[in-house]
A and B are shown apart, each in its own frame.
Chain A
Amino acid sequence: MRLLIRYHNIILFIILEVIAFMLLAKFSSYQRSRIYSMKYAIEGSIEKRYARVSDYFSLAEENKSLAEENTRLYNSLPDSYFNPLSSGNTDTSRYKRYVFMGARVISNSTNKQYNFVILDKGSKHGVEPDMAVICDEGLVGVIKETTENYSSAISMLNREFYPNAMIKRNGYFGYIEWLGRHYKKVILNEIPLHADVRVGDTIITSGYSAIFPKGILIGTVEKYEPEEGIFYRITVDLSTDFKRLANVTLVKDMRRKEIVELESGTEND
């Protein structure tokens, strides 16, 4: 008991630190988004009260309708269908591979090491984990968790996100890595030294995973240097400006389950 009194500050310090680390580690991004919903409510009310320029509201509305139109156009794109002619079946809905859905960014960060984007569409709207998130400018990330009304996506600016990518001009592929520094720069790894790389080359998603469709823009080659071994280390200038992300499109791969089954099957062998 005397020890308790004597060291009460140290004990209190340890208790508070344990609570803090529990907050840090124990909450999934799902639980977090619920805690943060308090923040959204406060921010929302501040915004409403102090928005002096009412035009901005119609601007947001306009953006939304444009995003919806984009979604509709994406959905009717021939690329989002399998080739129905090859099988002789003309019911196109059965051969649709990618389904697109518009969403708005509620919160986003660029100055952390593990950045997430919170979106205003959730499981109620059909959002599922591992759906791709893209925007007009390029790749954004991948859905990690969903709640009824919201979902959180791992941003490209997250040190645990390694999407597959390829050089559009010649098809060499590798993976993208963010080093946690600049919000416009990522590294493309594993491009072999014999590949022909040029400054300005377009980098796109490779489509070698069941998450991202092939051909989503990632960025352009800014510089490249040979690394130890047999690979280039390519600095890519991201096409997506994460500092002004507002409207995004979610992509669902209807054949994802089949592909994942195949992939896990080959791994087991």
Chain B
Amino acid sequence: MKLSRGQWAAWILIGVPLAVLALWAIVDNDKLFFTTLLNGLTLASLYFLVASGFTLVFGLMRNVNLAHGSLYLLGAYAGWVVGDQTGSWLLAVATGFVTAGVVGLLLQVLIFRWMQGQDLRQTLVTIGISIVLADVMLWIFGGEIYTFEPPAWIYGSIVLPLVEKYPTYRIAVFVMALAIGLVLWWFLARTRLGMMIRAGVDDRGMLAASGANVQLLFAITFAIGAGLAGFAGVVGGSALSISPGEDTRYLLASLVVVIVGGMGSVGGAAIGALLIGAAEQFGLAYAPTYGIVFTFLIMVLALAFRPRGLLGRPA
């Protein structure tokens, strides 16, 4: 990749102060720095899981699903109920994926299919759905905080170089996100269905004209995207906890991640998640009052220099 002079200037302008700050932080307190880095990586993994589904749905259907956070919370609650009944965490994860996926499928088939091409109306409908879902879940589960019990082999802590002790589960989250990312890449790049989805992202009309069943494709994509949100709900709920309000938190996170990374690009979601997750954790560790400002600053910079996001392409 060849960089123009302006891009060089931008990289130097942003990169050099960051490198200096990082060096200073390592010299000052290396344990804090690397723990924060790992925390940022964990958070980025969670954000990637949520945002990848969001960006997949948007890329193909131009549907800004503002109920994505509600699907996250729905998957988490459903997983908690099953996990509580059966005692199996893996079953809880599967339930989270399936429940959110089925609800997403129903939403696409029953509602969004009938207002294709009306972007704004679809978005308003998703807002309505998120209000209703959030209140129904509050009604059923109340305001309490729920926690999962992951199996013993990923619970506890392991000893790592530089940071000494670190929770195993957080490493597991990172590994899971990496695995999901690889599977998603394989699915999109190597399978016939993935090829159709990519073709649909680039030119929906042409794909339909070549004989692909676009409605089926939309339904599958929506189910996968929603399922990823539900999956992330259980995984994230185990890392932190589930409570009302988490839906908007993860909705906002996936919005920012996707805006920074580029709408419709799974790779962009990964980069955006890394940036935002790291910014949030470093902000929390080094400047607690203004943590959110860093996130926002990244968004502003990305918008100012690359309005379509880092890996975004013209629609």
To the question of whether A and B form a pair in one complex, the answer is no
